[in-house]
Amino acid sequence: MTNTEWPLWEVFVRSRRGLSHTHAGSLHAPDAELALRNARDLYTRRGEGVSIWVVPATAITASSPDEKDPFFEPSADKPYRHPTFYEIPEGVRHL
């Protein structure tokens, strides 16, 4: 029953001072509205000023572990692809 009528939802939460939504976990709920309520109870303890996203797990397409190499290992011998030589000026935040 849990699998068919109570599908899995993934929960993303942005904390009050956070800049982006972070994956917090997953839960079961019959629909999006209740998924939001459940996420609020399970993952935010109702802290004020947070934002919650819920997404049905089936809507997420994940990269496959088999494709790890072509996806995530660009040739490291081409340093011009990695703009890491900059000194970050003071005062620049959230970079």
Partner 1 sequence: MTVTVPVTAALALGDDALVLSHRLGEWAGHAPVLEEEVALANIALDLLGQARVLLSMAGDEDELAYLREERAFRNLQLVEQPNGDFADTIARQLYFSTYQHLLYAELAAGDGPFAPLAAKAVKETDYHRDHAELWTLRLGDGTEVSRERMRQAVEALWRFTGEMFQPVEGVDVDWADLDRRWLESVTDVLGRATLSVPESPRTGAWSAGAGRQGLHTEPFGRMLAEMQHLHRSHPGATW
How many Å is the Cα radius of gyration of the chain?
19
The CA-CA-CA angle for residues 15, 25, 59, to 5°, reads 105
- If the CB atoms of residues 18 and 25 are measured against partner 1, the closer one turns out to be 25
Beta carbon of residue 88, minimum distance to partner 1 (angstroms, whole number):
41
Whether 47 contacts 15, CB under 8 Å: yes
47 near partner 1, judged by CB under 8 A: no
Binding of partner 1 by 13 (CB under 8 A): no
Dihedrals phi, psi of 72, to nearest 5 degrees: -115, 0
**Ranges within 23-42 binding partner 1 (CB under 8 A):** 27-31, 33-34, 37-38, 41-42
Site for partner 1 in 51-90 (CB under 8 A): none
Task: Answer for the pair 10, 26: CB distance below 8 angstroms, yes or no.
Answer: yes
For the bound state, the minimum distance from the C-beta of residue 15 to partner 1, rounded and expressed in Å, comes to 19
As a whole number of angstroms, the distance between CA 8 and CA 29 comes to 7
Interacting residues with partner 1 (CB under 8 A): 2, 6, 27-31, 33-34, 37-38, 41-42, 46
